[in-house]
């Protein structure tokens, strides 16, 4: 067993399956004690999936407990952190991975579909962050690893709720990195590419989606875990406020929003001078209006 994060105590949300399960198992394999959080249940046995994953980790010689709670509730998030403290006496890292999808084109999306996705992804990430923040502050150290998405960074069809929440997580992470830097607390994002139960909801109804699904099926969720483990380790002590990506055997570092061009007009602007001079100067620097898969057209390696 590796000791890369030896004696660290880590909470992984949404760890009952997919990327979260692989991250939880990787942390345990590298020496951490893991709190496996998930609200889901096995369809066949009815057993909480968090308990199943915690048992898998223990069978492999690791240390883990389950926390069957919903991150989308303030009190439940605090109970997850308290369970971590009760079992292990400290908390060193929160991996905000829990998520759901309710894909729908914007003109058909319901209030419930919007709120459900934002509650789990964005509110859940904040609730877990807030529940751990005071402990990180007191101990002068800690790490947050948040899962964002290419849907949030680039945009995607039929995912306004998911994309808005995932880009909101980027802003949340940046704020955490700024607010807590003086306490030795770090915060980073990972945009994962992987075939999981969540991405399996992509409808195979267009040629574009069929190509996307075929590529996703080649991307193993376990390939995301090493980056998450690294970001929680002491070796990443200088890394904060960044956005990374993991796709198969590729790692990415994303740039962040900055001013692309500027124009000055001493007498100020009118709608007509913007049309005549301002916008033509900006157009060469416009961002692409294309779905996320257009940004990684090559096959995963």
Q: Pick from 238, 197, 242, 194: which is nearest to 219 by CA? A: 194
Q: Which of 162, 230, 252, 295 is catalytic?
A: 162
Residue 52 CA to residue 82 CA, distance in Å, equals 21
For 261-298, the three-class secondary structure string (H helix, E strand, C coil) is CCCCCCCCCCHHHHHHHHHHHHHHHCCCCCCHHHHCCC
State yes or no: is 162 an active-site residue. Answer: yes
Count of beta carbons in the 10 Å neighbourhood of residue 190: 25
Q: Catalytic residue numbers?
A: 162
């Amino acid at each position: 067993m590796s000791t890369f994060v030896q004696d660290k105590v880590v909470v992984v949300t949404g760890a009952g399956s997919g990327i979260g399960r692989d991250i939880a198992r990787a942390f345990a394999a590298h020496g951490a004690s893991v709190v496996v959080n998930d609200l889901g249940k096995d369809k066949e046995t009815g057993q909480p999936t968090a308990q199943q994953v915690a048992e898998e980790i223990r069978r492999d010689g690791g240390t883990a407990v389950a926390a069957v709670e919903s991150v989308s509730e303030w009190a439940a998030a605090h109970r997850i952190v308290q369970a971590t403290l009760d079992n292990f006496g400290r908390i060193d890292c929160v991996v905000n991975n829990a998520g759901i999808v309710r894909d729908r084109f914007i003109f058909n999306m319901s209030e419930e579909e919007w709120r459900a996705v934002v509650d789990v992804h964005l509110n859940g990430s904040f609730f877990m962050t807030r529940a751990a923040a005071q402990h990180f502050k007191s101990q002068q150290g800690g790490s947050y690893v948040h899962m964002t998405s290419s849907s949030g960074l680039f945009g995607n069809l039929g995912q306004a709720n998911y994309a808005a929440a995932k880009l909101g997580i980027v802003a949340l992470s940046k704020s955490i990195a700024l607010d807590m830097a003086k306490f030795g607390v770090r915060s980073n994002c990972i945009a994962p590419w992987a075939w999981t139960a969540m991405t399996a909801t992509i409808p195979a109804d267009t040629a574009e989606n069929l190509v996307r699904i075929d590529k996703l099926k080649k991307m193993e969720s376990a390939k995301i875990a090493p980056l998450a483990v690294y970001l929680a380790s002491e070796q990443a002590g200088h890394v904060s406020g960044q956005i990374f990506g993991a796709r198969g055997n590729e790692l990415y570092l994303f740039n962040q929003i900055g001013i692309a061009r500027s124009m000055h007009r001493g007498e100020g602007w009118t709608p007509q001078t913007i049309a005549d001079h301002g916008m033509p100067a900006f157009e060469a620097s416009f961002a692409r209006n294309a779905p996320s898969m257009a940004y990684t057209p090559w096959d995963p390696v």
